[in-house]
Structure 1
Amino acid sequence: MPEVPAARRLSGELESQVLAALWAAHQPLTPQDVQLALGGELARTTIATILARLHDKGTVERTRAGRAYAYTPTVQDPAGLAARRMRTELDREQDRSTVLARFVSDLSDADERLLRELLGEAPDRAAGPGHGEGGER
Protein backbone atom coordinates (compact mmCIF):
# COMPACT_ATOMS: atom_id res chain seq x y z
CA MET A 1 0.00 0.00 0.00
CA PRO A 2 1.46 3.47 -0.90
CA GLU A 3 2.51 5.75 1.94
CA VAL A 4 0.13 8.65 2.58
CA PRO A 5 2.00 11.99 2.76
CA ALA A 6 1.72 13.92 5.99
CA ALA A 7 -0.77 16.77 5.95
CA ARG A 8 0.83 20.08 5.03
CA ARG A 9 0.64 22.83 7.61
CA LEU A 10 -1.23 26.00 6.82
CA SER A 11 0.89 28.92 5.68
CA GLY A 12 2.28 30.71 8.72
CA GLU A 13 1.28 27.99 11.17
CA LEU A 14 4.86 27.24 12.23
CA GLU A 15 5.66 30.94 12.53
CA SER A 16 2.62 31.34 14.77
CA GLN A 17 3.69 28.43 16.96
CA VAL A 18 7.23 29.82 17.31
CA LEU A 19 5.90 33.29 18.15
CA ALA A 20 3.53 31.81 20.72
CA ALA A 21 6.48 30.11 22.40
CA LEU A 22 8.41 33.40 22.46
CA TRP A 23 5.44 35.33 23.86
CA ALA A 24 4.89 32.73 26.58
CA ALA A 25 8.55 32.78 27.64
CA HIS A 26 8.78 36.52 28.42
CA GLN A 27 12.52 36.27 27.81
CA PRO A 28 14.81 35.70 24.81
CA LEU A 29 14.93 32.10 23.58
CA THR A 30 17.47 30.24 21.45
CA PRO A 31 16.26 27.86 18.73
CA GLN A 32 16.90 24.97 21.13
CA ASP A 33 14.78 26.68 23.81
CA VAL A 34 11.96 27.15 21.30
CA GLN A 35 12.27 23.51 20.26
CA LEU A 36 11.85 22.40 23.87
CA ALA A 37 8.94 24.81 24.40
CA LEU A 38 7.18 23.31 21.38
CA GLY A 39 7.58 19.76 22.65
CA GLY A 40 10.62 18.75 20.62
CA GLU A 41 8.64 17.59 17.56
CA LEU A 42 10.29 20.03 15.12
CA ALA A 43 13.95 19.88 14.18
CA ARG A 44 16.13 22.59 15.67
CA THR A 45 17.24 23.53 12.15
CA THR A 46 13.60 24.03 11.12
CA ILE A 47 13.04 26.31 14.10
CA ALA A 48 16.27 28.21 13.37
CA THR A 49 15.07 28.77 9.79
CA ILE A 50 11.68 30.03 10.98
CA LEU A 51 13.36 32.37 13.47
CA ALA A 52 15.69 33.70 10.76
CA ARG A 53 12.69 34.40 8.52
CA LEU A 54 10.87 36.15 11.35
CA HIS A 55 14.01 38.20 11.96
CA ASP A 56 14.16 39.16 8.27
CA LYS A 57 10.54 40.32 8.52
CA GLY A 58 11.32 42.40 11.62
CA THR A 59 8.97 40.32 13.77
CA VAL A 60 11.74 39.23 16.15
CA GLU A 61 15.08 40.70 17.13
CA ARG A 62 18.11 38.64 18.01
CA THR A 63 21.12 38.92 20.25
CA ARG A 64 24.16 36.68 20.56
CA ALA A 65 23.86 33.94 23.18
CA GLY A 66 27.13 32.06 22.98
CA ARG A 67 27.41 30.43 19.57
CA ALA A 68 23.68 30.84 18.88
CA TYR A 69 21.23 33.70 18.79
CA ALA A 70 18.48 34.35 21.31
CA TYR A 71 15.27 35.78 19.89
CA THR A 72 12.73 38.22 21.31
CA PRO A 73 9.46 39.18 19.59
CA THR A 74 9.10 42.81 18.48
CA VAL A 75 5.30 42.57 18.71
CA GLN A 76 3.53 41.76 21.98
CA ASP A 77 0.72 39.50 20.81
CA PRO A 78 -1.29 38.20 17.84
CA ALA A 79 -3.15 41.52 17.55
CA GLY A 80 0.15 43.38 17.27
CA LEU A 81 1.31 40.93 14.63
CA ALA A 82 -1.88 41.42 12.60
CA ALA A 83 -1.52 45.20 12.88
CA ARG A 84 2.07 44.99 11.64
CA ARG A 85 0.99 42.86 8.68
CA MET A 86 -1.73 45.36 7.80
CA ARG A 87 0.77 48.22 7.98
CA THR A 88 3.24 46.30 5.79
CA GLU A 89 0.57 45.80 3.13
CA LEU A 90 -0.38 49.47 3.28
CA ASP A 91 3.25 50.51 2.96
CA ARG A 92 3.58 48.49 -0.26
CA GLU A 93 1.07 50.66 -2.11
CA GLN A 94 1.67 54.15 -3.44
CA ASP A 95 -2.02 55.13 -3.44
CA ARG A 96 -2.60 54.83 0.31
CA SER A 97 -5.83 56.82 0.14
CA THR A 98 -7.49 54.34 -2.21
CA VAL A 99 -6.24 51.34 -0.25
CA LEU A 100 -7.59 52.76 3.02
CA ALA A 101 -10.88 53.77 1.41
CA ARG A 102 -11.39 50.25 0.05
CA PHE A 103 -10.41 48.70 3.36
CA VAL A 104 -12.91 50.83 5.26
CA SER A 105 -15.67 50.23 2.70
CA ASP A 106 -15.38 46.47 3.31
CA LEU A 107 -15.68 46.71 7.10
CA SER A 108 -18.77 45.45 8.87
CA ASP A 109 -20.94 48.10 10.49
CA ALA A 110 -19.67 47.08 13.93
CA ASP A 111 -16.02 47.27 12.83
CA GLU A 112 -16.60 50.65 11.21
CA ARG A 113 -18.13 51.97 14.45
CA LEU A 114 -15.19 50.59 16.42
CA LEU A 115 -12.69 52.20 14.05
CA ARG A 116 -14.47 55.53 14.33
CA GLU A 117 -14.39 55.25 18.15
CA LEU A 118 -10.68 54.46 18.06
CA LEU A 119 -10.08 57.47 15.83
CA GLY A 120 -11.96 59.68 18.27
CA GLU A 121 -15.13 60.38 16.28
CA ALA A 122 -18.39 60.72 18.13
CA PRO A 123 -20.36 57.46 17.95
CA ASP A 124 -23.60 59.38 17.27
CA ARG A 125 -22.41 60.63 13.86
CA ALA A 126 -24.91 61.05 11.08
CA ALA A 127 -25.22 57.52 9.82
CA GLY A 128 -25.86 56.51 6.29
CA PRO A 129 -28.15 53.59 5.40
CA GLY A 130 -27.23 50.47 7.30
CA HIS A 131 -24.66 52.21 9.49
CA GLY A 132 -26.83 53.23 12.42
CA GLU A 133 -28.54 50.22 13.87
CA GLY A 134 -28.07 46.56 14.71
CA GLY A 135 -24.94 44.51 14.93
CA GLU A 136 -23.77 45.98 18.22
CA ARG A 137 -20.66 44.34 19.62
Structure 2
Amino acid sequence: MPATQPVSGVLGPLEAEVMTVLWSRGEPMTVREVRADVNAARETPLAYTTVMTVLARLAEKGILSRVREGRGYRYEPLVGDTAGIAVREVVRGFGEAAIAGFVDEARADPKLLRRLRALLAEEP
Protein backbone atom coordinates (compact mmCIF):
# COMPACT_ATOMS: atom_id res chain seq x y z
CA MET A 1 0.00 0.00 0.00
CA PRO A 2 1.75 3.23 -1.08
CA ALA A 3 2.05 6.11 1.33
CA THR A 4 -0.51 8.84 0.80
CA GLN A 5 0.45 11.12 3.68
CA PRO A 6 3.33 13.61 3.42
CA VAL A 7 6.65 12.09 4.38
CA SER A 8 8.07 15.21 6.01
CA GLY A 9 9.49 14.32 9.41
CA VAL A 10 8.77 10.63 8.98
CA LEU A 11 10.92 9.55 6.04
CA GLY A 12 13.57 11.27 4.00
CA PRO A 13 13.04 11.62 0.23
CA LEU A 14 15.06 8.52 -0.73
CA GLU A 15 13.55 6.51 2.11
CA ALA A 16 10.10 7.50 0.86
CA GLU A 17 10.90 6.39 -2.70
CA VAL A 18 12.20 3.04 -1.45
CA MET A 19 9.24 2.47 0.87
CA THR A 20 6.76 3.34 -1.88
CA VAL A 21 8.34 0.66 -4.07
CA LEU A 22 8.26 -1.93 -1.29
CA TRP A 23 4.67 -1.11 -0.29
CA SER A 24 3.48 -1.25 -3.91
CA ARG A 25 5.21 -4.57 -4.66
CA GLY A 26 3.81 -6.27 -1.56
CA GLU A 27 6.53 -8.91 -1.35
CA PRO A 28 10.10 -9.12 -0.04
CA MET A 29 12.61 -7.57 -2.47
CA THR A 30 16.37 -7.60 -2.99
CA VAL A 31 18.47 -4.46 -3.28
CA ARG A 32 18.76 -5.07 -7.03
CA GLU A 33 14.97 -5.33 -7.43
CA VAL A 34 14.29 -2.20 -5.35
CA ARG A 35 16.96 -0.29 -7.28
CA ALA A 36 15.43 -1.27 -10.63
CA ASP A 37 11.94 -0.14 -9.57
CA VAL A 38 13.15 3.11 -8.00
CA ASN A 39 15.30 3.96 -11.01
CA ALA A 40 12.44 3.31 -13.44
CA ALA A 41 10.81 6.51 -12.18
CA ARG A 42 13.98 8.61 -11.85
CA GLU A 43 15.80 10.77 -14.36
CA THR A 44 19.13 10.24 -12.56
CA PRO A 45 19.54 6.62 -11.45
CA LEU A 46 20.65 5.73 -7.95
CA ALA A 47 23.75 3.61 -7.38
CA TYR A 48 23.36 0.09 -6.01
CA THR A 49 25.28 1.08 -2.86
CA THR A 50 22.96 4.04 -2.24
CA VAL A 51 19.86 1.83 -2.32
CA MET A 52 21.63 -0.79 -0.18
CA THR A 53 22.47 1.86 2.44
CA VAL A 54 18.90 3.21 2.52
CA LEU A 55 17.49 -0.31 2.94
CA ALA A 56 20.00 -1.16 5.69
CA ARG A 57 19.16 2.04 7.59
CA LEU A 58 15.41 1.40 7.31
CA ALA A 59 16.02 -2.12 8.68
CA GLU A 60 18.07 -0.67 11.57
CA LYS A 61 15.17 1.70 12.36
CA GLY A 62 12.79 -1.30 12.53
CA ILE A 63 10.79 -0.17 9.49
CA LEU A 64 11.92 -3.12 7.35
CA SER A 65 12.73 -6.73 8.10
CA ARG A 66 15.56 -8.37 6.24
CA VAL A 67 16.23 -12.02 5.64
CA ARG A 68 19.54 -13.33 4.37
CA GLU A 69 19.45 -14.66 0.82
CA GLY A 70 22.77 -15.81 -0.58
CA ARG A 71 25.26 -12.97 -0.15
CA GLY A 72 22.51 -10.34 0.25
CA TYR A 73 19.12 -9.79 1.84
CA ARG A 74 15.45 -9.59 0.97
CA TYR A 75 13.67 -6.63 2.56
CA GLU A 76 10.02 -6.37 3.56
CA PRO A 77 8.07 -3.56 5.28
CA LEU A 78 7.12 -4.09 8.92
CA VAL A 79 4.77 -1.08 8.80
CA GLY A 80 1.92 -0.54 6.31
CA ASP A 81 2.34 3.17 5.54
CA THR A 82 3.87 6.45 6.70
CA ALA A 83 1.14 6.90 9.32
CA GLY A 84 2.14 3.56 10.83
CA ILE A 85 5.77 4.68 10.97
CA ALA A 86 4.78 7.97 12.64
CA VAL A 87 2.59 6.23 15.22
CA ARG A 88 5.34 3.73 15.96
CA GLU A 89 7.84 6.55 16.54
CA VAL A 90 5.46 8.48 18.82
CA VAL A 91 4.62 5.41 20.89
CA ARG A 92 8.30 4.41 21.17
CA GLY A 93 9.24 7.95 22.16
CA PHE A 94 6.41 8.69 24.60
CA GLY A 95 5.08 5.27 25.61
CA GLU A 96 1.94 5.20 27.73
CA ALA A 97 1.52 8.99 27.51
CA ALA A 98 1.17 8.68 23.72
CA ILE A 99 -1.50 6.00 24.04
CA ALA A 100 -3.39 8.13 26.57
CA GLY A 101 -3.16 11.08 24.17
CA PHE A 102 -4.54 8.99 21.30
CA VAL A 103 -7.45 7.86 23.47
CA ASP A 104 -8.17 11.44 24.60
CA GLU A 105 -8.21 12.58 20.97
CA ALA A 106 -10.58 9.72 20.07
CA ARG A 107 -12.94 10.66 22.91
CA ALA A 108 -13.24 14.17 21.46
CA ASP A 109 -14.30 12.86 18.02
CA PRO A 110 -17.28 10.45 17.94
CA LYS A 111 -16.35 9.04 14.52
CA LEU A 112 -12.77 8.39 15.63
CA LEU A 113 -13.99 6.86 18.90
CA ARG A 114 -16.23 4.42 16.97
CA ARG A 115 -13.25 3.47 14.79
CA LEU A 116 -11.02 2.92 17.83
CA ARG A 117 -13.65 0.73 19.49
CA ALA A 118 -14.07 -1.31 16.31
CA LEU A 119 -10.32 -1.81 16.03
CA LEU A 120 -10.05 -2.90 19.66
CA ALA A 121 -12.92 -5.38 19.19
CA GLU A 122 -11.21 -7.12 16.25
CA GLU A 123 -9.63 -10.50 16.79
CA PRO A 124 -5.81 -10.37 16.79
Provide TM-score, normalisation by structure 2. Answer: 0.66
Letter matched to residue 38 of structure 1: V
- CA separation of 1:22/1:115 partners in 2, compared to 1, >3 Å: closer, same or farther? same
Q: RMSD value over aligned CA atoms?
A: 2.9
Equivalent residues of 1:104, 1:112 under 8 A apart: no
- Residue 58 of structure 2 corresponds to 54
Name structure 2 gaps, 5 residues minimum.
1-7, 118-124
Quick check: which has more Rg, 1 or 2? 1
Q: 2:77 aligns with which of 54, 62, 73?
A: 73
Q: More helix per residue: 1 or 2?
A: 2
Which digits, 9 at most, give the CA deviation of each residue in 1:109-134, with x for residues without a partner? Answer: xx7444433344xxxxxxxxxxxxxx
How many residues are paired up? 105
Name structure 1 gaps, 5 residues minimum.
1-9, 121-137
- CA separation of 1:12/1:114 partners in 2, compared to 1, >3 Å: closer, same or farther? farther
Provide TM-score, normalisation by structure 1. Answer: 0.61
- Residue 47 of structure 2 corresponds to 43
